[in-house]
Structure 1
Amino acid sequence: MTTTWIAAHRSAVINPYEGFGLFEPRGFTDRTVRQSLRLAGGGDALRIRLSNRYGKEPIRIGGAHLAVRTRGSGIDPGSDTPLRFSGAETVTVPVGEELVSDPVELPVSAGEELTVSLYLPGDTGLSTYTAVPYDLGYAVPGERLSAELLEDAEELSTGHYLTGVDVLAPADTRIAVAFGDSWVEGAFTTPGADNSFPARLSRRLTRGWIVNQGISGNRLLSDEVGEHLLARVDRDVLAVPGVSHVLIHIGLNDIGLPGARSHPEPPTDRPSAEDLVTGLTALADRLHAAGLVAIGGTLGPYEGCVYDGVDSPEGQAVRREVNAWLLGDAHPFDAVIDIAAAVADPEQPTRIRAEFNAGDGLHVNDAGAKAIADAVDVTLLDL
């Protein structure tokens, strides 16, 4: 059987030096940082991806280990394996670059939880980071790569440097990339439960799987939080090995963030429905040019959200127009998932149903993510 490298986990990253941030950036000095992930698919071997894309100085890694996770910061010590990079156990990640580890001959399956531990001996500066990692991470002083449990560890709510795992799988394996904002990334779903709607949908598939390239706060047309969707399509979709389909939810932050009191852009910079339609069309055209199936998603409801200035009559009008276009016959996508209808309050469809509301009126909880996944016709994902 012919095999090739296929993405089994992805985490899209953010520049810690952005002017507007929803998350607190940070760095490390003489710390072991331990982070866990869950594989969306399996294979006969794997390799780990680390990124210093936005760092301002090279990152020295004094050691990196891979292990099977037990619980919290715990690992199975019998599975603890040093990672190597071109044969070396220590490595420096240059500014703006990504490193891929040497293959680890370890058969793995979908749903398996693994832990990557990095020892960072020097001052890293602010780290290239992920807004919503799979689960809480942990950091302790000194080199504790092989420790079975990290005692008295600092908990990390953001992810750092770890951007993906590839597995050696049959060459005909095809996967989907979920691409967009917090509704994709799974903000406000239970950490460590893998309950984002793409993860839940992935578990419904009989062939292939879905990896997640969402960024909470991300926009279609403007940078911050993260590079805007049209700018990151090459890196976060087209460069993902095995991709054949793309699921998209984007636009709520374009509409809402300019009105937020903490945001530097005035509300007058809010894009029009025509602007978003033009951007979504450009995105679909770019994906089609690469030979991919592009599946759009209607913009979720958010009326009554708790963040000052995000909900406005002007923004609601833009959302209404964009969703009408997506549900009509003029859009360029191969299909459209009605994400909004899956979680909307039947009595007030501009709001999230109470049982699906994560509490802020802007995001869905675990039950809401399940409702979205269950509403998708899996035959659209002919992987």
Structure 2
Amino acid sequence: MFSRKHVASLLGAVLTAGAVAAAGPPAAAASDRWFAAWATSVHAPIPGNQFDGPNWSLEGFTDQSVRQVVRVSAGGSEVRIRLSNAYGSGPLRLTGATVAQAGTGAGLKPGTVRPLRFGGDGSTVIPAGRSAVSDPVRLRVSALDSLTITLYFKGPSGPATFHQDGLTTTYRAAGDHRRDEGSAAFGGETSHSRYFITGVDVTGAGGPAGTVVAFGDSITDGHGSTAGADNRYPDQLAERLVRSHRRLSVVNAGIGGNKLLADSPCYGERAVTRFSRDALSQPGVRTVVVLEGVNDIGAGGYPDYFGCGASPEVTGPDLIAAHRQLIRSAHRAGVRVVGATITPMKNFTGYYSADKERVRDQLNDWIRTSGEYDAVVDLDRMLSDPQDPDALAARYDFGDGLHLNDAGADRIADAIFRALCC
């Protein structure tokens, strides 16, 4: 059994190579007619853990079908799928894939299965460090519909570029079952991670006019919200936008454990590196919401950050400079950027000290008062305990003093909705 320390050592070179590839846009440049309707941010393969459960990223897939369900935040008459081999150890050979309207569990809605093609071919090879976009598929979808993507690998895929904390069920079956409308073949093995898929884009009549990217760490990723319920704050923001008939899609670019200033083989590349790929390269991006920094502060100075390498100690000026870098990058791309203050962390084991709290306060004061963000959402003040402002209010606490329950995610979604729309 691999330990996280062992994998961190093995994958250091892979992470470095992935960082180079991630600096540029996806394999197919975003077109004005396409808008991201669902997305996830990927990182290097790692073992499972007690928080997120087992995953299949290190072993990959051989003569297996992987079925993944996603909920899109906007509709259209055509869709396309984005895939990544950013952290692969070699070429990713995809034998074939389909997309369909989701049924129950691993089942598909009858009559909706569509084959995916890549440059007209039913199969594709994605070099290590690269990504791919499928050809457009005619499939009518509505906002908040669920789609099912089935990937089949006849030969070994190698280690899987993936997103660990998917908070949803992914299914695996032996053999080629990409066209199966039923779920019988997928009854045995499940995971709660995402594999290779990074985005679903839509176009056509009734589609969105712009995309909002939620960029951040585990608070954005949704750790603490109810698994399988689409209750992360970006999900709830999307629901508000749909109810208000505003033509904006929302995608989630959060990675649990992610930091502004330090790479991690377990928790992804530093935010200042991945911002271009994961936020600014999303098709149709109009606004990015930034919530990053709590892990830099709380884990700062640790010689081993949850088994994933050293975490450098940071200062307020260090973090402010990183936020300024994100703002400048967004503005150069013509994208509006909303800053969120760092949420309370006092009762999260190992993250709090008087010195670290001073760093959090310094960064939050700058976000609130500098005027450098186009808009500010003060999550710190709205989520804190009135009797202890350094602590998360109990009604929003998942139970560990840092992560938010569904009510906390709903509170963030409401605040960001108002910043975007009112």
Give the TM-score taking structure 1 as reference length. 0.91
Identity %: 38
**What's the secondary structure of 2:348's corresponding residue?**
coil
Is the contact between residue 167 and residue 193 of structure 2 (CA under 8 Å) also seen in structure 1? no
Residue among 235, 238, 244 paired with 1:199: 235
1:292 aligns to 2:335 (yes or no) = yes
1:275 aligns to 2:275 (yes or no) = no
**What's the secondary structure of 2:240's corresponding residue?**
coil
Residue among 79, 87, 101 paired with 1:46: 79
1:314 aligns to 2:314 (yes or no) = no
**What's the secondary structure of 2:214's corresponding residue?**
strand
Question: What residue in structure 1 maps to residue 45 of structure 2?
Answer: 16
Is the contact between residue 112 and residue 139 of structure 2 (CA under 8 Å) also seen in structure 1? no
1:182 aligns to 2:218 (yes or no) = yes
Q: Deviations over 1:135-192 (max 9, x none)?
A: 2101121112223103432111111001101111469811211111111111221223
**Aligned-partner residue type, residue 191 of structure 1:** A
**What's the secondary structure of 1:114's corresponding residue?**
strand
Is the contact between residue 256 and residue 270 of structure 1 (CA under 8 Å) also seen in structure 2? no
**What's the secondary structure of 1:119's corresponding residue?**
strand
Identify if the C-alpha distance between structure 1 residues 310 and 265 changes in structure 2 by more than 3 Å, giving closer, same or farther. Answer: farther
Give the TM-score taking structure 2 as reference length. 0.83
Correspondence list, 1:1-383, <5 A: 4-16=33-45, 25-26=57-58, 27-133=60-166, 135-147=168-180, 148-149=182-183, 150-169=185-204, 173-205=209-241, 206-224=246-264, 225-259=267-301, 262-263=304-305, 269-306=312-349, 309-328=350-369, 330-376=370-416, 378=418, 380-381=420-421
Is the contact between residue 37 and residue 134 of structure 1 (CA under 8 Å) also seen in structure 2? no
**What's the secondary structure of 2:390's corresponding residue?**
coil
**What's the secondary structure of 2:389's corresponding residue?**
coil
Identify if the C-alpha distance between structure 1 residues 322 and 250 changes in structure 2 by more than 3 Å, giving closer, same or farther. Answer: same
Q: Deviations over 1:87-143 (max 9, x none)?
A: 222222221111111111111111000000111122222110013326210112111
Q: Extract structure 1 runs of 4+ deviating beyond 2 A.
A: 20-26, 131-134, 150-153, 169-172, 257-262, 264-267, 309-314, 375-382
Is the contact between residue 3 and residue 169 of structure 1 (CA under 8 Å) also seen in structure 2? no
**What's the secondary structure of 1:219's corresponding residue?**
coil
**Length, aligned pairs only:** 376
**What's the secondary structure of 1:324's corresponding residue?**
helix
CA distance in 1, matches of 2:338, 2:89: 36
Q: Deviations over 1:175-232 (max 9, x none)?
A: 2111111111112212232211122122222231211111111111111121111111
**What's the secondary structure of 2:105's corresponding residue?**
coil
CA distance in 1, matches of 2:411, 2:419: 17
**What's the secondary structure of 1:79's corresponding residue?**
coil
CA shift for structure 1 position 265: 5.4
Q: Deviations over 1:245-266 (max 9, x none)?
A: 1101000111122355742655
CA distance in 2, matches of 1:55, 1:277: 33
Q: Over aligned residue pairs, what C-alpha RMSD do you find?
A: 2.4
